[in-house]
Structure 1
């Protein structure tokens, strides 16, 4: 039970933090048509959206957490494979669902809790088959939004939450045509971004 409560706490903290962080962006038009994110979606729609983040062989056995009527995260589907799926991360007009494993949950919990560095003991894996968002300013990707930053949409991708160094690995520190880069390079929370559609992974 303790592990379940800790996991739910991490999910709720992550969801609440990102919604607050990007609240100013919610009214922004994306593409030709503005959308309202996950507002007004039914439980069935939220579960389906959350599960769309990962390959079916992962999402079908994953736990699904969705916001309840009071905004707090509740378990909508109990999983068996250690992965957790959320219908939205950044609270933007276009939802960006995610599915992640336990090591990723530890990594995210450390980040949101202000830990100096992540404490996961193995690489964490997370999928975002509908893409996501990041902030750029002066040719760098920021860890959080700030004045003058641009909101950039990411294509479908998956992530490895484990220490990566751009110079040591030769992997670029910004998005590029090769499809992989180290996000937040030079920080303890640097991690690998891979522009590969999880839905096409076999």
Structure 2
């Protein structure tokens, strides 16, 4: 569990730098934060997960979990990651080598959009193929790279499964959930 939390701290610290480039949001109460995070995954996952929050420049564990999932909000998006997905997220945020382990991420509250071609884009631009995917799950790591048959286009249909960041070390499978 310490590895997960250490990785979470690293991921959230780096994510915090991206957040710092955006206008500051109004402070959210711990109660409201927990409500938002609870929307990230099925109750069977999130109710037993560790919940963390970046607050005052430091990572805080708001709730210690009993399963191996870590849930948080990053850039206004609630998510829950398994340990392998935490490793993948840390590699992506630190520009490190992508993990070969297969990970899973829940983002059932949807996202606010991202470039489908540039893993480090922080805003929509005319040439970065910005895409918003509603409620979805993600398969990350080596398995996502070896799953044939999913579109690897710059502008996929976000209502169907597709590969995000194709051709990069961090390509992963996006699977919309309704």
TM range (shorter): 0.7 to 0.9
- The residue aligned with 2:28 is 41
User: How many positions carry a matched residue from both structures?
Assistant: 172
Larger Rg: 1
TM, length-normalised to structure 1: 0.73
Could you tell me the TM-score, scaled by structure 2's length? 0.82
5+ residue gaps, structure 1: 28-35, 198-202
Q: Which runs of 4+ in 1 moved over 6 A?
A: none
1:97-119 residue CA offsets vs partner (Å, 9 max, x unmatched): 1111100000011111221x312
Answer yes or no: is the 8 Å Cα contact 1:157–1:194 preserved in 2.
yes
Give the Cα separation in 2 of the matches to 1:113 and 1:14: 7
CA distance in 2, matches of 1:5, 1:96: 19
C-alpha deviation, 1:2, in angstroms:
4.8
Residue by residue over 1:61-111, the C-alpha shift from the partner in whole angstroms, topping out at 9 and shown as x without a partner, is 00001132x132200000111111112x22xxxx31111110000001111
Q: Deviations over 1:172-191 (max 9, x none)?
A: 12432661000011111111
SS of residue in 2 equivalent to 1:49:
helix
Tell me which residue corresponds to 1:32.
Answer: none
In structure 1, what is the equivalent of residue 119 of structure 2?
143
| Cα distance between partner residues in 2 of 1:19 and 1:63 | 22
1:133 to 77, 87, 112: 112
1:19 shift after superposition: 1.0
Take 1:80 and 1:177, find their aligned partners in 2: how far apart are those partners? 33
**1:108-119 map, 5 Å:** 108-115=89-96, 117-119=97-99
Matches within 5 A, 1:166-177: 169-173=148-152, 174-176=155-157
User: 2 CA distance for matches of 1:79 and 1:46?
Assistant: 16
Shift of the 105–47 alpha-carbon distance from structure 1 to 2, 3 Å rule, reads same
